Amino acid sequence: MKKYTADKIRNVCLLAHGGVGKTSLAEAACYIAKSSSKLGKTANGTSVFDARPDEKERKMTISMTIGYCEWKDVKINLLDCPGFLDLIGDTKAALRVVETAVMLVDASDGIQVGTEIGYRAVQEANKPRFFFINGMDKEKADFEKTLDSLKSGFGTGVAPVMVPIGQGASFKGVVDLITKEAFEYAPEGNGIGRKIAVPADMEDAVQQMRSALMESVAESDETLMNNYFEKGELTDEELAKGLAKGVAAGLVFPVACGSASLLMGIDELLSRIAVLAPSAKIDEVDVLDMGTAKKIPAGENQPAAGFIFKTLSEEHLGEIILVRMYAGKLAAGQELYNTGRNASERLGALYTMVGHERVEVSEIAAGDIGALLKLKDTHTGDTLADKTHKSIEFAKTEFPAPVISYAVAPKNKGDEDKVGAGIVKIHEEDPSFIFRYEPDIRQTVLSAMGDIHVDIITDVLKRRFKVEVERKLPRISYRETITKSVKYVDYTHKKQSGGAGQYAKVAIDMDPNPRGGGYEFLDKIVGGVIDQSFRPSVDKGIRSKVTEGIFAGYPIVDVKVALVDGKTHPVDSKDVAFQIAGREVFKKAFEMASPILLEPIVNLKVTIPDDCTGDVMGDLSSRRGRIAGMEPQGKYQVITGKVPEAEIQTYAQTLRAITQGRGVYTKSFSHYEPVPAETARKVIEASKSEQQTVAE
């Protein structure tokens, strides 16, 4: 492979609704450009990109993979991202390191849920974008209808640079609107179009669309506008340069078309990317220097600085680290510094990838994307840099907050360590889920982007790490507290069973603390009725009950206890006796102080299409939700409110059903508030039943 400077590199991620053909496009592009010697197919399990066992089984992309094409003296790095909503973490990771997104749209189905979700992610990342209308050979393919839907959905910046010759069974080629050249393809041939004359019945339409394209481009540049008015048209070169400028500025979204499965129109798409997409060349790059934002010079001649954006794992090979270089270059044997872990790494062989196939290279230069193997302690989100950059780090990718949680436990006792070790490895490849032990509910909880995401994680645990887990909805992290004060509640602990006895008498006052005040212990003993050395023992005994709860088994909060009286025996009083007395007097007082159950309330932010607003609002009300506001955002509404956590454990599934998968939400903890009496009764009964089952 020849060496490419950053101005000759295009980094592109492929996004689409699942099943539209992203992976087929990546396979076709690499095959046509001869970076891959075989044309794989996801459908029959021969895909070079979807090569994981679970990808072959599910016939879908689960993990982002990369490929490259050398095309028209340019290197195009393609990042193939999963199309399923649950796996959007990889989309975020890819958008973090590319300059351009290519969004595939089905020629017969048009804009789908995944199109909308992907487009929002591209908007948030503020990346230039192309559209590729795929499947022009399908029976119900309709280029004009799909193009109109793109313009309606995504604005006037949508501009076709290519139109099909025929569609459905009659689809045979494309016309380039920039050059007015037409190309015909042999279905499933070598993917290189044969130049033909523009069909006579298309000449007028092509000219009209080319004129419309010129107008769109001219409107984005004053010089081009003047030229257009003076001459009545733009040259091919002016049109291409204007388009490239409009794409980079986020004003123009070129639309290409073809059939990835039949290798038709893909070469022209690559040509358009090579000419119109922004290059990887930048003058400087944003970093954090000891936590403070700054810029450092980029470019090949600067000290090395690269960002680890993805980790892949292959059996018998280990971890494959994907790096985007922003400055300098990497070479085999080079020693770099992992700035976040304060550790040195010596590089072995360097690779570029075509799906799961590796191609060894001599260097990975600024602007390029490549792969590293067998690093000691470098992981997703890390920064590798020259030692002159010891204090800098690239900002880590921000992943969406998980929306669904399950309590998980190994099916076989004793497998806890295997589960933990497996999860750590899987998390390296997919940092978009969270796995942690929750002491409040005494469960290990897996939080992910949806049920399919959880299925994939648990399948990998079973397949790769030979351990199975059971899952169920986690307990809600309720709290217990009191609503009234009680005074001078006493308890005496006596124990005589031969030998030394135990004796402790204590009396306490108990008062509610303000919400959020927690547990507070006050020593109000006067005159030494309890020895000074035993008073902390009372507090220690009370704290044990605060942690484990009393009437429902949940932690106790917002209680103030004052130790006001008691008695010490000169022989039988001991630390353990006062701990027991403290625990029991606290329980006695708590039960007298009108205890209640508190439930966690979460802040909810739901983004939904306009036409789903009524149904979503009604559903939230049925979940005891309180709507705080509603704000329009384009064709969407953003609803904010507060909802009990217990009511939205399965909200992800419901929201997807109501919005046909177009709605998304985020949540964060807000506060605790009392549980309604009937709900509290059911929670307490369930808790006691569970405790009884465990005891048996």
Q: What is the pLDDT of residues 348-357, one digit of tens each?
A: 999 999 999 9
Q: Do domains 404-472 and 480-593 have the same CATH topology?
A: no
CATH class as words, domain 9-202+252-276: alpha beta
Residue 575 CA to residue 581 CA, distance in Å, equals: 10
pLDDT per residue as tens digits for the range 510-549? 999 999 899 999 999 988 899 999 999 999 999 999 999 9
How much is the average pLDDT of 142-155? 95
Query: What sections of 64-202 are H helices per DSSP?
Result: 88-95, 113-125, 143-154
Domain at 599-678: CATH code: 3.30.70.240
Residue 574 CA to residue 495 CA, distance in Å, equals: 11
Query: What sections of 185-310 are H helices per DSSP?
Result: 203-219, 222-231, 236-248, 266-276
Q: Which two tokens stand for residue 600?
A: 């966690």
pLDDT category of residue 499 using cuts at 50, 70 and 90: low
**What confidence score (pLDDT) does residue 287 get?**
95
The contacts of residue 32 (CB under 8 Å, 6+ apart) are 69, 190, 191, 192, 263, 266, 267, 270
Residue 185 CA to residue 189 CA, distance in Å, equals: 7
For the domain made up of 284-393, give the CATH fold.
Elongation Factor Tu (Ef-tu); domain 3 (2.40.30)
pLDDT at position 630 over 60: yes
pLDDT category of residue 440 using cuts at 50, 70 and 90: confident
Please name the amino acid found at residue 320. I
For the domain made up of 404-472, give the CATH fold.
Alpha-Beta Plaits (3.30.70)
Torsion of CA 316, 319, 322, 326, to 10 degrees: -130
How much is the average pLDDT of 164-175? 97
pLDDT at position 380 over 80: yes
pLDDT per residue as tens digits for the range 219-269? 777 788 888 888 878 888 889 999 999 999 999 999 999 999 999 999 999
Percent of the chain with pLDDT over 70: 99
Contact 588, 491 (CB under 8 A): yes
Enumerate the domain spans of the chain: 9-202+252-276, 284-393, 404-472, 480-593, 599-678
Domain at 480-593: CATH code: 3.30.230.10
**What confidence score (pLDDT) does residue 570 get?**
86
Q: Which two tokens stand for residue 60?
A: 């879908």
Contact 531, 525 (CB under 8 A): no
Please name the amino acid found at residue 511. D
Choice among 53-67, 133-147, 577-591 with the minimum mean pLDDT: 53-67
**What confidence score (pLDDT) does residue 498 get?**
64
pLDDT per residue as tens digits for the range 272-320? 999 999 999 999 999 999 889 999 999 899 999 999 999 998 777 788 9
Residue 659 CA to residue 630 CA, distance in Å, equals: 17
Q: Is 545 left (phi over 0), alpha (psi -120 to 50) or beta?
A: alpha
